[in-house]
Structures are given as structure tokens and as C-alpha cells.
Amino acid sequence: MRNIPIPVDTAQLQFVCVKAPCPRIIDKETGELKIDKASGQTVYEVLFSVENTFGKIELVKISIVGEPQVSPGDEVKPVGMVGYVWEIGGRWGIAYRASAFRVASAPVEARGV
């Protein structure tokens, strides 16, 4: 199966980190970590709750090269997020990857007059 990245429009989605970043493990027996071929850096996974404008919430893992500076409770916007469809043994899904995470801007508080 070809691996064609599918761009994800994150403009109408809210991403809140629910678990600290951890290195992606390829082989649980040996502890081998996934390394990005282009940069040679370790690939990390971050678990987010993602809410759309209709209030539907899902948990989504997003991979990123290098250890991201994000902690549980942080609201971020993924930069350059793409999805890759995968299939193994009759099961399939979508793996997500981002090039960076930006801190989401805080809402402006209303000021009394």
C-alpha cells in the first residue's frame, strides 16, 4: 500500500494533551525506538483529546520528531498535521503526524466597563 500523506485541517479542532510525550517503541521485546530516517531523531507520540465544533471528543495519538515541549493539560495547535492510512492483517486505521505543536492562544477575557 502506498503511503500518501493526507493533510488535516486543524482550524476547527481543539487539541488538549492528556498524557506526557513518550518515545515511540517499534519492538517491545528489545525496546527499540522509532528513529526518523531524515533527521536521525527519536519519534515521540503524544496523546490528545480532540474536540470538534459539534462537541464530539476523541482520543488521538500524534507522532512528532524530537521531544515536544508539551505537558498534560496544555492546549496546542498541531502544525503540518497529516494522516497516513495503514492496514495490517485485516485491521486498518489512520496514523497522525505533525511537524510541530504551537501553544493555542488563550481566549481574551471580557473586561468590565
> Of 33 and 88, which is predicted with more confidence?
33
Summarize pLDDT for 89-102 with one digit per residue, the tens.
Answer: 999 999 999 999 99
- Say if residue 108's pLDDT is above 70: no
**Counting Cβ atoms within 10 Å, is residue 44 exposed (0-12), middle (13-18) or buried (19+)?**
buried
Confidence of residue 104 (pLDDT cuts 50, 70, 90): confident
What backbone torsions phi and psi does residue 66 show, to the nearest 5 degrees? 85, 155
Of 80, 57, 106, 113, nearest to 9 by C-alpha is 80
Confidence of residue 2 (pLDDT cuts 50, 70, 90): low
